[in-house]
Amino acid sequence: MRQVQTIADLRSAVQAARQRGQSVGLVPTMGYLHAGHLALVDAARRDNELVVVSIFVNPLQFGPREDFARYPRDLARDAALLQEHEVDLLFAPSVEEMYPRPLATFVEVPDLSQTLCGRSRPGHFRGVATVVSKLFHLVQPDRAYFGQKDGQQLAVIQRMVSDLNIPVEVVAVPTVREPDGLAMSSRNIYLSADDRRHATVLYRALQHAKALITDGERDGRRVAAEVAQRVAAEPGVRLDYAEVVDWETLQPADVLQGRVMVAVAAYVGQARLIDNLQLTVHADGRVTEH
């Protein structure tokens, strides 16, 4: 695996692969890799001849009172993991390399960015869309891999790619979970042993929602209220939101049909955790999970 810090080195390495006729897969990350990231890497490895992983803790997507400074970082460990997973190229730029002067250009998907996490994280998805668009232009991958765990991010990026005709295939990869159901997240490091036990309520509440919908419940607000109630009742957990939304609009789905997302966010100890479930409610009543 080759590791580069500069845009010039990244571009020339990718260009050399292109000239050899290789397909290119990109996995954008903020590092501190866990099994969820590695599932993205493995999917990219299966589909592409050149696999590029970026590690960049993007200041633009953190609010002023969020955890940019203390966000966990361990580049040496990440590099060793990526090497094991047969990554070809690791791009780990500095903030100065990505933002050599104050950014004046932003990519925004306002309608999908102001709901759900956007309400407590104004500017977050603008930061995500902007940096992902930069990475797409830098690498020009054939495919890019994102986890379903960041469901709203996935929706924003899919919409950006479609609306702006960006020539990349966005591949969604299912959430990887701990044995007790907790979704893998770099922020799980913030959890104490007690927090860690309570944090599983997100998964348990989502599984309850899935059972309700599978059993025929079609009132999205009722499902959301049940999820909210379970999460809020857990000691040491403060609910941010629980919603059932239409996948295309991310607006509350009153009547469940087509592709929907049950999404939940909560503060657990020092961490803000999110999780979701992506389902399709078919016309014949079947419910399938993505």
Which residues belong to the active site? Answer: 37
Residue 127 neighbours by CB under 8 Å, 6+ apart: 58, 59, 60, 61, 62
Task: Count the neighbouring beta carbons within 10 Å of the beta carbon of residue 220.
Answer: 23
Phi, psi torsion values for 170, nearest 5 degrees = -85, 120
**Residue of the chain from 159, 198, 230, 272 that contacts a copy of itself (CB under 8 A):** 159
| Residues present in the chain in total | 290
Give me the helix-helix angle, 7-19 and 124-139, nearest 10°: 50
| Residue 109 lies near a copy of itself (rule: CB under 8 A) | yes
Q: What gap in Å lies between CA 165 and CA 188, rounded to an integer?
A: 35
- DSSP one-letter string for 169-180: EEEEEPPPB-TT
Task: Count the neighbouring beta carbons within 10 Å of the beta carbon of residue 18.
Answer: 14
Q: Which CB sits closer to a copy of itself, 119 or 137?
A: 137
**Residue of the chain from 70, 119, 167, 211 that contacts a copy of itself (CB under 8 A):** 167
| Residue 165 lies near a copy of itself (rule: CB under 8 A) | yes
| Residue 96 lies near a copy of itself (rule: CB under 8 A) | no
| Residue 23 lies near a copy of itself (rule: CB under 8 A) | no
- By CB under 8 A, the count of residues binding a copy of itself is 26
Instruction: Tell me the CA distances in angstroms from 230 to 43, 213, 273, 277, one per residue in order.
Output: 34, 16, 15, 16
**Residue of the chain from 133, 153, 200, 276 that contacts a copy of itself (CB under 8 A):** 133
**Residue of the chain from 4, 44, 81, 112 that contacts a copy of itself (CB under 8 A):** 112
The span of 78-86, 164-172, 185-193, 274-282 binding a copy of itself (CB under 8 A) equals: 164-172
| Neighbour-count burial for 229-255, b at 16+ CB within 10 Å, e otherwise | ebbeebebbebbbbbbbbbeebeebee
Q: Which CB sits closer to a copy of itself, 59 or 72?
A: 59
Task: Count the neighbouring beta carbons within 10 Å of the beta carbon of residue 286.
Answer: 9
Question: CB of 135: closest distance to a copy of itself in angstroms?
Answer: 8
Question: CB of 54: closest distance to a copy of itself in angstroms?
Answer: 12
| Residue 217 lies near a copy of itself (rule: CB under 8 A) | no
The span of 158-166, 186-194, 199-207, 280-288 binding a copy of itself (CB under 8 A) equals: 158-166
Q: Are 11 and 127 in contact (CB under 8 A)?
A: no
The span of 72-80, 156-164, 172-180, 202-210 binding a copy of itself (CB under 8 A) equals: 156-164
Question: CB of 134: closest distance to a copy of itself in angstroms?
Answer: 5
| Residue 60 lies near a copy of itself (rule: CB under 8 A) | no
Question: CB of 240: closest distance to a copy of itself in angstroms?
Answer: 24
Contacts with a copy of itself by CB under 8 A lie at 7, 11, 103-112, 129-130, 133-134, 137-138, 140, 159-160, 163-167
